[in-house]
Chain A
Amino acid sequence: MIKLENIHKYFGDRHVLKGINATFNPGQVNLIIGASGGGKSVTLKCMVGLEEPDAGTIWFGDRDFHHLDYAGKQLVRREIGMLFQGTALFDSLTVEENVAFPLRMFSAMNEAEIKDRVNHCLERVNLPGVNAKFPGEISGGMKKRVGIARAIAMDIQYLFCDEPNSGLDPLTSRVIDELLLEITHEYGITTVINSHDMKTVLDIGETIVFMYQGEIKWEGSGKEVSHGRKHVPELDEFFKASF
């Protein structure tokens, strides 16, 4: 479980996160939704440690992430997988080397075991037979799947995805959404997805947090969104603009 307690973040005198409180449950797809500039990405970056909040606490289980020492933070980070908006695959490495990268860095596996694990992960994301290709040689949807395979290569507890459907056609988007849902349930991990895609919200959102101008305006389950928009004008506006 990940718990955010009263998170504040400033960039200069701009107050971009204004006391965020949220809980993201394990074994569920947790969505952070909202328009661009609403604070979703900053929240996600604070959670994965790419930004330091100015106030507040982020709990990974019973560990207060931002008050851990360097070694403690590194240990938490090894339980984290992340799918970046632009996939962030390493250009100079093949697909196989990309997925093997965290294993080579942090596991005690030998090369044969690493190869087995890589093949298992690539098969899990329905991408067998592309091991020798470079990221520049595969499509956007395939890159996303390689990104997911790399994220789950280690035994992660937390999966973060930043706009997993950006730049994808609707069919490929659905494939990625379903894959994320399956993986979340299969591995029992805490998945947090940043999205402004309402289709994703309706298809796979189990816990949803709606952010607007640095504040959480609404939270609930996917089934409750339709009801929630009646009471939160910003959510209603966001909902209408999405279709």
Chain B
Amino acid sequence: MGSRAKLFSEVGRFVLFMQRVLRKPTRGRMFWRSLMYEMNLIGVDSLVIVILISLFTGAVSTIQTAVQLTAEGGILPPDIFPMEVVGSVVGNGSLLEFAPTITCLVLAGKVGANIASEIGNMKVTEQIDAYEVMGINAANFVSLPKILAGLIMIPCLIVLANFLLLYGGVIACKATGMLTVDEFVTGIRSSFTPLYLRLMLIKSFVFAFIITALASFEGYYTEGGALEVGEAGTRAVTRICVFILFFDLIIAQLFL
């Protein structure tokens, strides 16, 4: 099969898979229970990594921006920039890129790999077949709670990441003394653009869907054994990262 035919075949399979996933759950009570479990797994269990990544990214981006703007021998003389520019660059950078994209690339590795491996393992151990034989739409039963939990929790994590990024910047300001917290906060506030906030939220929902749906898809079509389950996890993470970056570009082009 040629690469173009293979691409169309994969897209077709994904559409058919989503057709099966996006159906009314067989039993509301069981679905609710699964949804709560997945929300805990995707949201609460990802808190530590999101907090760490956000604080460090915020601090590092603040320091590096400040260093570049005040460096001798730069494009423009260092005194020309008010230090509030650092807050402006980091604040907008956080909204537009750091919070949604960096967080989701990290979540691709954590949540995406986890979902793909879990469903892949269920597939190769016939648990998916067991659902089907019982008369349960397995794609829906297994994947819908994960996708919905992702759509609820990942945007929440991204909003939190945005605040923590800025807090990381505040910590960097205090720790290095390169600029004052007032200058940093004034920079953030003066350049705040509501469109960027909306963009962050749009990205967060799109990326959440990419992470959970692609990971579920990769897991669901796993064939073989333990080796293939591992491969499905790796393939899922790779594809999710590529799609996140691709849709990041598309959204930027469409809205900015």
Contacts and interface: CB of A to CB of B under 8 A. Distances in A.
Interface of A: 48-50, 73-78, 80, 82, 84-86, 88-91, 101-102, 104-106, 160
Nearest to B124: A86
A84 B26 contact: no
15 contacts: A48-B133, A49-B133, A50-B129, A77-B134, A86-B125, A86-B126, A88-B125, A88-B129, A89-B127, A91-B122, A91-B125, A101-B134, A104-B27, A104-B30, A105-B26
Contact of A105 (B27, B129, B133): B27
Interface string B127-156: 101101111100000000000000000000
Contacts of B4: none
B30 A84 contact: no
A88 B136 contact: no
Nearest to B128: A88
Nearest to B129: A50
A149 to B, nearest CB: 13
B6 interface: no
Interface string B17-43: 000000000110110000000000000
Q: Which secondary structure dominates chain A's binding surface?
A: mixed
Contacts of A82: 130, 133
A50 B134 contact: no
A102 B132 CA distance: 12
Nearest to B127: A88
A85 B126 contact: yes
B120 to A, nearest CB: 13
Residue of B30, B125, B127, B133 with highest tally of chain A CB at under 10 A: B133
A106 B135 contact: yes
B7 to A, nearest CB: 21
B134 A105 contact: yes
Nearest to A80: B133
Contacts of B126: 84-86, 88
A162 to B, nearest CB: 9
Interface size grouping (class) on chain B:
10 to 19
B81 to A, nearest CB: 55
Contacts of B26: 105
A78 B134 contact: yes
A102 B130 CA distance: 10
Given A48-B133, A105-B26, 20 more contacts: A50-B129, A50-B132, A73-B135, A74-B135, A77-B133, A77-B134, A78-B134, A80-B134, A82-B130, A82-B133, A84-B126, A86-B126, A88-B125, A88-B129, A91-B121, A91-B125, A91-B127, A101-B134, A106-B134, A106-B135
A50 B242 CA distance: 33
A155 to B, nearest CB: 14
A106 B131 CA distance: 12
Contacts of A91: 121-122, 125, 127
A89 B131 CA distance: 10
A103 B129 CA distance: 18
A88 B132 CA distance: 12
Nearest to B130: A88
A102 B135 CA distance: 10
A90 B30 contact: no
A84 B135 contact: no
Most buried by B among A89, A101, A105: A105
A90 B29 CA distance: 18
A49 B29 CA distance: 26
B208 to A, nearest CB: 23
Nearest to A73: B135
Contact of B135 (A50, A77, A104): A77
Given A102-B134, A106-B135, A84 B29 contact: no
B2 to A, nearest CB: 18
A80 B130 CA distance: 11
Nearest to A71: B135
A75 B26 CA distance: 13
Contacts of A49: 132-133
Contacts of B125: 86, 88, 91
A106 B136 CA distance: 10
Contact of B29 (A80, A102, A104): A104
B226 to A, nearest CB: 13
Q: Which of B29, B30, B121, B134 has most A Cβ within 10 Å?
A: B134
Contacts of B135: 73-78, 80, 106
